[in-house]
Structure 1
Amino acid sequence: MRVAFGSVPKDGGTFTFYRNLRLALRAHGVDLRCVSVGRDEARLWEDGYADAGCTLLAPRAIGLKAQARAFADWCEAEEIDIVMGINSGGILSSFPHLPARIRVMARCANAFDQGYRVTMAGRDRLARIVALSPRLRDDLVRDYGADPGILRLIPNGIDPARFDAAAAQPRGQGARLELGFLGRLEHGQKGVLHLPAIVDALLARGVDFRLRIAGKGRHGDQLRRALAGAEAAGQVEFVGALGPDDIPDFLAQTDVFVFTSRFEGMPNALLEAMMAGAVPVCFNIAGITDFMIQEGRTGHLVAQEDAAGFADAVAGLAADRTRLATLHKAVALDARARFSNAIAAASYAALFTEIMAEAPPHWVPKPWADFVPDANFPQTWRRFVPPGVKEWVKGRRFAYQ
């Protein structure tokens, strides 16, 4: 069975899904392909992340019709059975033109309006929708008209073997509590500008700690300025972006994983920390972090934007190292029982088999003369603006918020 998954080889959650499940799905007879289409995705492509299952189509194409045709032709040539378009405008725009024998699925990975709208793109063709967490599933039904009958809850899966050595590492052995943040240094989603208030609250409580911050992003410079004093005093350290091979060692040296996101879908960084036995302290995102973390048993959940409450949870772990050690073991075991890539791969393979066992839908592909771009990707003059300029504009906009 051949499944095309719209993504780009780079550092990000969407490609991490592909990387985590490709080999695990092979054991079930599923060939998962990562497909990138068009100029913008070609510019995001990073050779260091690509593997033999990654394909780049129409790398110079700007228009969605050219991208969609290139993808449809590739699907025919490769005899693709199932397509998951994700957030690729070219792939999603191809749906009305694909033959009925190619089944179409959606995977909802983030709890925000545009993510939900993209999930519902081509809803007439959707055989199934996968939601990563209860929050995503419920929002899709209640607010976006998704058919509950085709929705399936399949959480992300992480390979536990990558983190076995980290999970075996005892936690809380030193006088200083080691805190770690791993993720994009961006505030809109990741909430990184709450870190200075959390650091101040920890200092006010007299906690002996070091916070290592791994990642890069548009608010990195602003965050570093806000934490300059703590960095100079040795309580904060910026370690830069980490490659996949560096993450287990980083988490092995982390007693408490600091998670400040304001919205997510099923965050891989948090899953990796859990697999590694780093005890998570998280802002609560209803239906997401409280689905992943069991309060008081596998970590701690704190109300959004409550820096004082966050510091209280961390201070409690600093003071009670026996409880920290208990949570360390519990979270690593719980992650393996619920969120391994083997469990996720088995769930997806069963779903693919279920879909292909059904009769093809009664569907007549539209001719290319009737092509209309997917409504979530309007073709405006902005597509001619270089990506660097777009990022500069975004940075300026957020700087004044």
Structure 2
Amino acid sequence: MSSIYDVVVHVSHSDAHLASVHGLFFKKQTIINNGFDFENYHDIDSKDIDIIFIGRLHEQKNPLFALKVAQEILNRRILFVGSGPLQEQFEAKLSESCKYSNIEWIPAVAADRALELLARSKILLFPSRWEGFPITPIEAMALGTVVVASDIAGTNEILNEGCGMLIEGFNSGDYAKVIETILDNDANRAVLAGVARKKARARYSRKKLSARYFEIYLSLRSPGAQP
């Protein structure tokens, strides 16, 4: 297969490893992460949403587990944004939770609206079961929103160096405890958000990552050049 492609680009180290595990070896390969166009978006100082889950209502994104986490957190404004194949089950579970008036849900929205809601949130709950190299945590980091996520391949390449919280396994109580701890300490949350914002904007700028693709295209015009 390596003879078919001049260069193979993986979006994460975990994807590159997965390719090798399945016997996919390439003569030339490199890693270029997904990125975000930061220039047109700004974080918001006054955040009126405590916790947001934003994504497809699909097994991958684990929305039913996220709802279980939300049900363990009282007196906090929690917003779910998204639609998908698990929507019927999600709505049924949500209707059973009518006593939780702090939990809101709206279907999928336009990208600009989603980013606005993300920027208004203090914490992004991101308990995915699997990912490649997800964009949503990067967007949250760039917008000053602290990410609490499952410790899975791809996501754990982003949330390191003190810029977010990774949780092993899927125990809703563990997630709720971490979230409450962050929300109870505004100063610590501001530190986490600041570190995350700096990392996201320095490392995941779409403009910088696009330049790396351009370098690869140029290298293919020069025999013997390495990407």
Q: Same fold (TM over 0.5)?
A: yes
Distance 1:230 1:269, change over 3 A: same
**Partner SS state of residue 33, structure 2:** coil
In the TM superposition, what are the counterparts of 1:323-362 in structure 2 within 5 Å?
323-358=188-223
CA shift at 1:236, angstroms? Answer: 1.2
1:71-220 matches, within 5 Å, as: 123-147=2-26, 149-164=27-42, 167=43, 169-170=44-45, 178-187=50-59, 189-203=60-74, 208-220=75-87
Aligned-pair CA distance for 1:135: 0.5
Distance 1:283 1:163 in 2: 26
Instruction: Report how far residue 231 of structure 1 moved.
Output: 5.1
SS in 2 for 1:180: strand
Matches within 5 A, 1:64-75: none
Cα distance 1:178–1:270, how it changes in 2: closer, same or farther (>3 A)? same
Secondary structure in structure 2 of the residue aligned to 1:202: coil
Counterpart of 1:278 in structure 2: which amino acid?
Answer: T
Distance 1:240 1:271 in 2: 22
Q: Deviations over 1:261-298 (max 9, x none)?
A: 11111112222112211110000113x11110126x21
Matched, 1:280 2:147: yes
How far did residue 358 of structure 1 move? 2.8
Contact 1:162 1:248 (8 Å CA) reproduced: no
Tell me the amino acid that sits aligned with residue 238 of structure 1: W
Q: Is the 8 A contact 2:82 2:109 kept in 1?
A: yes
Instruction: Give the residue type in structure 1 aligned to 2:30.
Output: R
Equivalent of 2:155 in 278, 289, 292: 289
- Considering fraction of residues, name the structure with more helix: 1
Structure 1 residues 331, 240: CA separation in 2 closer, same or farther (over 3 Å shift)? same
Question: Deviation digits for residues 153-203 of structure 1, max 9, x if unmatched?
Answer: 100110012322xx2x2266x6xx61111111111x111121232123324
Structure 2 counterparts to residues 239-254 of structure 1, below 5 A: 239-254=106-121
List per-residue Cα deviations over 1:104-155 (Å, max 9, x = no partner): xxxxxxxxxxxxxxxxxx54311111111111111212332313x4110100
What are the superposed Cα offsets for residues 18-68 of structure 1, whole Å, 9 maximum, x if unpaired?
xxxxxxxxxxxxxxxxxxxxxxxxxxxxxxxxxxxxxxxxxxxxxxxxxxx
Distance in 1 (alpha carbons) for counterparts of 2:64 and 2:2: 37
Root-mean-square deviation (Å): 1.9
Equivalence for 1:321: 186
**Paired position in structure 2 for 1:81:** none
Could you tell me which amino acid in structure 2 is paired with residue 126 of structure 1?
Answer: Y
Aligned to 2:177: 312
SS at match of 1:343: helix
Of 107, 120, 125, the match for 1:258: 125
Q: Does the residue aligned with 1:145 lie in a helix, a strand or coil?
A: coil
Give the percent of matched residue pairs that are identical in Structure 1 and Structure 2.
23
Give the aligned residue type for 1:349: F
Q: 5+ unaligned residues in a row in structure 2: which ranges?
A: none
Distance (whole Å) between structure 2 residues aligned to residue 180 and residue 161 of structure 1: 23
